[in-house]
Structure formats: C-alpha cells, structure tokens
C-alpha cells in the first residue's frame, strides 16, 4: 500500500534528521576498498587497477531522505523537464512522482509485460526531442508466441501525464525464448539521438552461446535511431548473417548504460560469482562472454575453460569479485558535489549501495560506497539539476530516495 504524501514526507524528514552520510570507513591511503577473498582466487587482472581500486571518501557531509515509498520493485528512473520523475515498476506500471513525493496513478496505455522472474517493465527514458513531441521510451519483457523477449516502445506522454498515446514498438529482440532471466535492459540516448539498448543472453546454458552469435540479439549492446531504424554507420549494417542493430557482442546481462560527456558509451554487466564488469563498448568489438570471464560459476566450477583473456576479445575496464550486482548508472556532472564531476555512479543491488567510481584516462582510480545505511537494493540512479543524487530501490516496498549534501 502506498504511503500517503504526508507520511512519505515525514519519513523523508525523519531519514534526513538521522544525519547518517551513508559512507563506510575508508581504508588506508592507496589500499583497496574491497578486502574480501575473490571467488576467482587464482585469477589475475589483465592490467593494474582493473579491480579492487583504492578506497576514496567524499569530505562533504551528506544524508539521504526517502521521498516516496510503497513502490513495487521499481526498476527505471528518468527525469522529466519539469522536475518530476518517471518511475517504472516491474509488474508493468509507470508512475510520475513529484520532487515532494506525490505518487501518481499508473500511466495508462502501456502494452502488456511478462513479469515473471526478472521480466516485466524495465527502463524508461525521456526522448531527446521531448520538448517538441513529448515522446518517452521504455523497455520491457514482451510476451510473445513461444515465450518472451525484450522490446522497446515509445509513445507520447499526454499533456496531463495520465497516459501514453500513439504507442509504437520500435525494437524487438530475437530470438523468442521461454525463460524468465537476463532481459537486460537499460536505455540511453547519445548526443546525436541514437538509442543504446542493453540486452542479456537469457542466462540458461543453451542460450549462452548466442552472446557470440551475430545472428542473435541476445547478449548484445544495440544501437538504433529514435524511430527504430538502423544507423548507417552501425558496425554490422549490411553484413550478411549479422543483425544490423548490434553495436557490440559478448555480453552476459547488461543492466546499466550511460553516455559520457565525451560521447563514449559505458555499460555495467552482471557476472556470476565474481566478474561484474564495467565496459566501454566500442563499435563491432567482442567482450568475451561466455568464452572469457572473471569469477566462477554459481556452483563454484570454472566458467567454460576458466580463462580470463584471449586474443581478439576485449577486457573490461574494471571488474568486481565478489560482485556488487550492478544496476543502472550515470555520470555525475552536478554542482552539489564538484569533486565528483566526471565520476560514475553505479546502483548496487546485492551490496545495497551506490558505488562512486573515480575515472582518470579511461581507468578506475578510486571507489567509494555511498548510501550504505539505507540497507536496500539500489536499482537505478540519476542526478537532478541541483546536483542531488536520486535512486530507486528494488524491493517489494520500493523507495524513491534523494542523496544530498547536508
């Protein structure tokens, strides 16, 4: 049951009054933040700094406040130009939430979703031309004959925000598979209006090899135009036997994507026991899954041949072992925390925090865990115009949370 606005506001005030900044103790200078034994105990990083970055700490005091609660497994978070938030709930509901915590009724007009397992309504994005056409985009597990697969649709958000109109499915991943795992799927527009879509390889052993198959969308990063057409400069456009929407291949289950200020696309990928990855996927390149990977299978055995590198397959920029189970991600360019500019903020599900990654020359040089005192699975993260960080938690009683300087 959703908390009334007054109650949600009281929760927010109480949370902020606690004064906790959500930061864990920083280790000695230069020491890695992660100290637990790795699951891939005998594996070595391919280059210095690829894992276990030194811990860093923000000097500015901060606190989080719960703005709204009662959301059922919220998944995606996107800011509207008027300061309200679009929030998806995995069972198939899209809501608009005000900065003060007023939660709207479900937006009407969305297509049906397959909400089994990890499926359902997933990410949401505001179109790059929203000011002119009010188009929003969302990804979801679409029920289809013989199973399901990830699809992306767009529609016009009505002037009063109560419904989407003229809904159009602009991308359907293939093949269809009757499963309930690894749908991806995160959305991000680049500065030229291309839409990046992340997809999983559907998890089950028979599907894993499709991450290496250019005739399948499974385990790929997709790049399309805003209307669903294929950009002419996509790396596999016109190549026989390859699907033209593919940007990069060899991914496991990518649930975070963000475009950096310089235009580069970055992604976050779930590993098994170990091997969560930060990648900077480049056109046409292969990121290895399931041929190479860090970590081990859930049951403890090696992944395939147990190798972490092979010629022709790309290395992650950074990996975690043990995993944090990364969700959504965003680059920080706000004014509230000037020392964070250019950093990556990553939602952490399993470890229940926001990871702040310091980037220098394309490498991770520092890591901090934020909002650890909330104690909930953080699914997506975004930055408001004032520089405050907003997040949603993937819980039965999911929350919209604001992290800000005190």
In sequence order, what DSSP letters do the residues of 7-64 get, joined into one string? HHHHHHHHHHHT-----PPP-STT-BS--SPPSSTT---SSTTSBSPBB----S-EEE
Instruction: Write b or e for each residue in 53-73: b if 16 or more Cβ atoms lie within 10 A of its Cβ, otherwise e.
Output: bbbbebeeebbbbbbbbbbbb
267-325 pLDDT, tens digit per residue, is 999 999 999 999 999 999 999 999 999 999 999 999 999 999 999 999 999 999 999 99
Catalytic residue among 64, 73, 182, 217: 182
Strands, E assignment, 98-200? 121-126, 135-144, 147-157, 164-172, 187-189, 195-198
Edge-first strand order for the sheet with 147-157 is 121-126, 135-144, 147-157, 164-172
pTM above 0.85, yes or no: yes
Residue 182 annotated among the catalytic residues of the structure:
yes
CA distance 294 to 317: 12
Q: How many domains does the chain have?
A: 1
Domain assignment of residue 375, given as a range: 5-405
- The CB density around residue 130, as the number of other CB atoms within 10 Å, is 17
Query: Could you tell me what percent of the chain has a pLDDT over 90?
Result: 93
**CATH code of the domain covering residue 211:** 2.120.10.30
Three-state DSSP string of 282-337: CCCCECCCCCCCCCECCCCCCCCCCCCCCCCCCCCCEEECCCCCEEEEEECCCCCC
CA distance 268 to 219: 13
CA-based angle 260:264:269, to the nearest 5?
A: 85
Radius of gyration of the chain (CA): 20
CA distance 278 to 36: 19
- Average of per-residue pLDDT values in the chain: 94
pLDDT band at residue 15 under the 50/70/90 scheme:
very low
264: pLDDT strictly greater than 60: yes
């Amino acid at each position: 049951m959703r908390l009334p606005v007054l109650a949600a506001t009281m929760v927010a005030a109480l949370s902020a009054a606690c004064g906790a900044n959500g930061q864990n103790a920083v280790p000695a200078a230069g020491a890695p933040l992660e100290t637990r034994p790795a699951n891939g105990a005998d594996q070595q990083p391919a280059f210095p700094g690829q894992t276990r970055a030194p811990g860093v700490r923000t000097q500015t005091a901060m606190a989080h406040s719960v703005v709204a609660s009662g959301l059922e497994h919220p998944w995606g978070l996107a800011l509207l130009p008027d300061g309200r938030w679009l929030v998806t709930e995995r069972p198939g509901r899209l809501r608009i939430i005000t900065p003060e915590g007023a939660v709207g009724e479900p937006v009407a007009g969305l297509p049906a979703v397959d909400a089994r397992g990890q499926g359902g309504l997933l990410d949401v994005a505001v179109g790059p031309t929203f000011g002119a056409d009010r188009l929003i985009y969302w990804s979801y597990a679409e029920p289809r004959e013989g199973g399901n697969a990830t699809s992306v649709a767009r529609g016009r958000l009505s002037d009063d925000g109560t419904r989407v109109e003229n809904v159009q499915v602009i991308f359907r991943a293939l093949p269809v598979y009757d499963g309930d795992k690894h749908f991806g799927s995160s959305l991000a527009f680049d500065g030229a209006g291309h839409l990046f879509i992340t997809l999983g390889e559907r998890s089950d052993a028979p599907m894993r090899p499709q991450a290496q198959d250019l005739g399948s969308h499974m385990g790929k990063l997709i790049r399309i135009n805003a209307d669903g057409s294929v950009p002419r400069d996509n790396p596999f456009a016109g190549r026989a036997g390859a699907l033209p929407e593919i940007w990069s291949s060899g991914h496991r289950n990518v649930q975070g994507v963000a475009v950096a200020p310089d235009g580069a696309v970055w992604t976050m990928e779930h590993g098994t026991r170990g091997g969560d990855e930060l990648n900077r996927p480049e056109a046409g390149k292969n990121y290895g899954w399931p041929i190479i990977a860090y970590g081990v299978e859930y049951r403890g055995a090696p992944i395939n041949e147990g190798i972490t590198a092979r010629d022709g397959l790309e290395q992650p920029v950074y990996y975690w072992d043990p995993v944090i189970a990364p969700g959504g991600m965003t680059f920080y360019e706000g004014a509230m925390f000037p020392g964070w500019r250019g950093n990556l903020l990553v939602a952490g599900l399993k470890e229940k925090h926001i990871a702040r990654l310091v980037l220098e020359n394309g490498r991770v040089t520092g890591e901090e865990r934020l909002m650890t005192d909330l104690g909930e699975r953080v699914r997506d993260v975004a930055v408001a115009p004032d520089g405050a960080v907003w997040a949603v938690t993937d819980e039965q009683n999911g929350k919209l949370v604001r992290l800000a300087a005190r």
